[in-house]
Amino acid sequence: MPWPAVVLAAIAVAFFALPLVGLLWRAPWSNAWMYLTDDTALTALRLSLVTSLCATALSIVFGVPLAWLLARVDFPGRGAVRALCLLSMVLPPVVGGVALFFALGRRGLVGQYLDDWFGITLPFTTAGVVVAQTFVAMPFLVITVEAALRQLDPRLEEASRTLGASRWYTFRRVTLPAIRPALVAGAVLAWARALGEFGATITFAGNFPGTTQTMPLAVYLSLETNPEEAIVLALVMIAISFGVLLSLRDRWFGAVSRPMQVAA
Amino acid sequence: MTLAARIGLQLGTLDLQVELELAPGEVVALVGPNGAGKSTVLRCLAGLVALDDGRIELDGAVVDDPVTDVFVEPEQRPIGFVFQDHVLFDHLSVLENVAYGLRARGVARADARERARQWLDRMGLADYGSQRPAALSGGQAQRVALARALAPDPRLLLLDEPLAALDVGTRAAVRRDLRHHLGTFDGMRLIVTHDPVDAHALADRVIVLEAGRVVQSGTLAEVTAHPRTRYVADLVGVNLVSGGVVDGVLSTASGARVVIADAPDGPTLATIRPHSVVIGRGEAPGSSARNTWAGSIVDIDRLGDRVRVVVDGELPLTAEITGSALADLRLAIGDRVHASVKATDIEVAPA
């Protein structure tokens, strides 16, 4: 038994577990139900679920083609494009929010035309929340799906083409089933990131109860006004995230970490 | 159905310039060393790679011609492709693999499955339809790959190193199997291989490719008698003798006997390398060579300092000797000679 490694690993586990224990310890169990059914909490929870699922859907619709492009098409500047698309993973979310504001705000580079031509305003709206969440979440899906596509034997797709299948049929019947574990894992990661999104949302979409105040924003705000409520809301978010990770752990993450099987 | 292709392609360091034609129903083996461009030729014909220049015509219809900007997508070409190590779809059952091409071409589900079932029947895999490809042996997987490629009824079947992925033990059985199933298909067949034994067993004609160029084309016997390059002489231009082995002696259909070492009984393919054949004048002297056959010289072909001498007799053979040996023995066409080979110089493989 490599004891030093075990000790260090145990410290790491404690490091992740302690904050959770701290929350449970301070949780106002007798008033929990009241805070949970509180209007602010329910509204924020519903808004968080709706916007994070929308952001996940958008990430899939645009992220899968992007991942395919990055994995399969050898175009000049591909490395730069990949770095650009993954930038928001490492960018401080607040910076992302500011950048979104100057691009898509009412006086922004593109936002002014959205406003003038289509009457679409994104900042400080629920749609703006979705945009901010998609901005930070999509890279997680792209990076996961791209890795799976790179591992996939390109001859599977070629075999399909020689059998009379179009590109689209090949994608649906061969590529998609083969990368499905990675797609699910990437979607879950993106969803979790969107659900937890704070900085870009508050910068770009503000903090209006009912339209842009998502759970993380509600937690942060109630910390100043009512710490007990903050703890309950935080525990709800932890429970949701933990539940999803647990239910998916072996089925999907296990399948992703194994190399894609090619017909023996 | 005919194939006429002129393929020009730059791919990395490979400069491919190949012309080839296939007659209706012909089986041709494309032989050559690694990196010669054999697989790339197949990929061009299948439409998986577009030509830089040249032209591919399948039965009079142009499928690739960069000059007139014609490129028919792979799914629109009447071809079947059997990949090296099969490339079956692991997430589909064996039956769905075979039905895939029909489904992709719009055949109704029930009909496609029924026809796929018939193919599996024909391949002796009727019981494996519901299995996953991962559960199959190498030989079974190859039959599924062949059935999958043949089910949509292609006119040109392309096989890329169909036997390379198999171990020596199963190779002979699968080769025999493949020959049988290829025989039931009446379209053109083009097989990439680097093994003259496979070429001999499966094809009517060989085309030898070296560094992106066709260096020779003809029957294997022609190539053995007149190899144009060292590669062809050393690796393709060998004598292949088929027959049945009983007690260490192989008997050919024409009645010649070949003593071999360490071969199990049964149908066998023996490889006799021309440089291990010794030619002598007149009657056979006593020697340690177990095999000696009488015959007469029918052809003499020079390749550099080496000379190929074709002997016709009990066992038609090509020998390779040096130019000085030819001069010393003053050999000429029509001379009576004997050819001998040590039993231990003969390689055997079950046929």
Backbone dihedral region for residue B337 (phi beyond 0: left; psi -120 to 50: alpha; all else: beta): beta
Per-residue pLDDT of chain A (264 residues), as tens digits, is 789 999 999 999 999 999 999 888 888 888 888 888 888 888 998 999 999 999 999 999 999 999 999 998 889 999 999 999 999 888 999 999 999 988 998 888 888 888 888 888 888 899 999 999 999 999 999 999 999 999 999 999 999 999 999 999 999 999 999 999 899 989 998 999 999 899 999 999 988 888 899 999 989 888 888 888 888 888 988 888 888 878 776 655 544 444 444 433
Residue B93: predicted pLDDT: 95
CATH code of the domain in which B94 resides = 3.40.50.300
Question: Looking at beta carbons, which residues of chain A come within 8 Å of B141?
Answer: 263-264
Report residue B284's pLDDT band, with 50, 70 and 90 as the boundaries. low
pLDDT digits (tens, 9 = 90+) for B188-244: 999 999 888 888 888 989 999 999 999 999 988 888 888 888 888 887 888 888 889
* A50-63 core/surface letters (b: 16 or more CB in 10 A; e: else): ebbebbbebbbeeb
Return the half-sphere exposure (C-beta side, CA atoms, 13 A cut-off) of residue B239: 23
If asked whether residues B159 and B222 sit together in one domain, one would say: yes
Please name the amino acid found at residue A142.
V
- Domain limit, last residue, from B186, B219, B236: B236
Average pLDDT, chain B: 90
If asked whether residues B126 and B260 sit together in one domain, one would say: no
- Locate the chain B residue with the closest alpha carbon to A161: B75
Interchain proximity B100–A262, CB inside 8 Å: no
Residue B287: predicted pLDDT: 65
pLDDT digits (tens, 9 = 90+) for B229-260: 888 888 788 888 888 999 889 999 888 899 98
Question: Looking at beta carbons, which residues of chain A come within 8 Å of B88?
Answer: 263
* Domain at A32-257, CATH class: mainly alpha
Chain B: nearest CA to A78, how far in angstroms?
20
Kindly tell me if the per-residue pLDDT of B170 is higher than 70: yes
Q: How far is CA A45 from CA A52, A83, A216, A237, A241, in A?
A: 11, 33, 9, 9, 13
Residue B75: predicted pLDDT: 95
Number of domains chain B contains: 2
Q: Is A160 on the interface with B (CB under 8 A)?
A: yes
Residue A261: predicted pLDDT: 41
Q: How far is CA A21 from CA A17, A64, A220, B247, B268, in A?
A: 6, 38, 19, 81, 75
- Give dist(CA B256, CA B275) in Å, integer: 20
Instruction: Please write down the HEC assignment for all residues of B208-246.
Output: EEECCEEEEEECHHHHHHCCCCHHHHHHHCCEEEEEEEE
Q: Which of B73, B101, B133 sits opposite A263 (nearest CB)?
A: B133
Kindly tell me if the per-residue pLDDT of B345 is higher than 60: yes
Kindly tell me if the per-residue pLDDT of B336 is higher than 80: yes
Question: Looking at beta carbons, which residues of chain A come within 8 Å of B91?
Answer: 177-178
- Give dist(CA B231, CA A242) in Å, integer: 64
* Best CA proximity match to B2, nearest among B44, B54, B56: B56
pLDDT digits (tens, 9 = 90+) for B48-86: 999 999 999 998 899 999 999 999 999 999 999 999 889
Please name the amino acid found at residue A169.
Y
Q: In what order do the strands lie in the sheet with B291-303?
A: B278-281, B336-341, B291-303, B306-313, B317-322
Residue B254: predicted pLDDT: 86
Question: Looking at beta carbons, which residues of chain A come within 8 Å of B79?
Answer: 162
pLDDT digits (tens, 9 = 90+) for B111-128: 999 999 999 998 889 999
Interchain proximity B104–A158, CB inside 8 Å: no
- Domain limit, last residue, from B184, B219, B236: B236
If asked whether residues B231 and B317 sit together in one domain, one would say: no
If asked whether residues B248 and B277 sit together in one domain, one would say: yes
Kindly tell me if the per-residue pLDDT of B348 is higher than 50: yes
If asked whether residues B243 and B301 sit together in one domain, one would say: yes
Residue A259: predicted pLDDT: 42
Residue B61: predicted pLDDT: 92
If asked whether residues B173 and B297 sit together in one domain, one would say: no
Interchain proximity A165–B152, CB inside 8 Å: no
If asked whether residues B97 and B193 sit together in one domain, one would say: yes
Residue B221: predicted pLDDT: 83
In the numeric block, the tokens 């996953």 are attached to B132
Neighbour count for residue B45 (Cβ, 10 Å): 25
Q: In what order do the strands lie in the sheet with B257-259?
A: B257-259, B249-251, B239-246, B266-272, B346-350
Contacts of B127 (CB under 8 A, 6+ apart): none
If asked whether residues B193 and B246 sit together in one domain, one would say: no
Residue A242: predicted pLDDT: 85
Domain boundaries, chain A: 32-257
If asked whether residues B138 and B267 sit together in one domain, one would say: no
- Locate the chain A residue with the closest alpha carbon to B165: A264
The whole-number average pLDDT for the span B313-330 is 89
- Domain limit, last residue, from B236, B251, B275: B236
Tell me which residue range forms the domain holding B29: 3-236
In total, the C-beta contacts within 8 angstroms joining chain A to chain B are: 81
Helical H runs in B34-93?
38-46
- Locate the chain B residue with the closest alpha carbon to A168: B104
Interchain proximity B91–A156, CB inside 8 Å: no
If asked whether residues B71 and B185 sit together in one domain, one would say: yes
Question: Looking at beta carbons, which residues of chain A come within 8 Å of B100?
Answer: 160, 163, 165, 173
* Best CA proximity match to B277, nearest among B196, B339, B344: B339
Residue A257: predicted pLDDT: 44
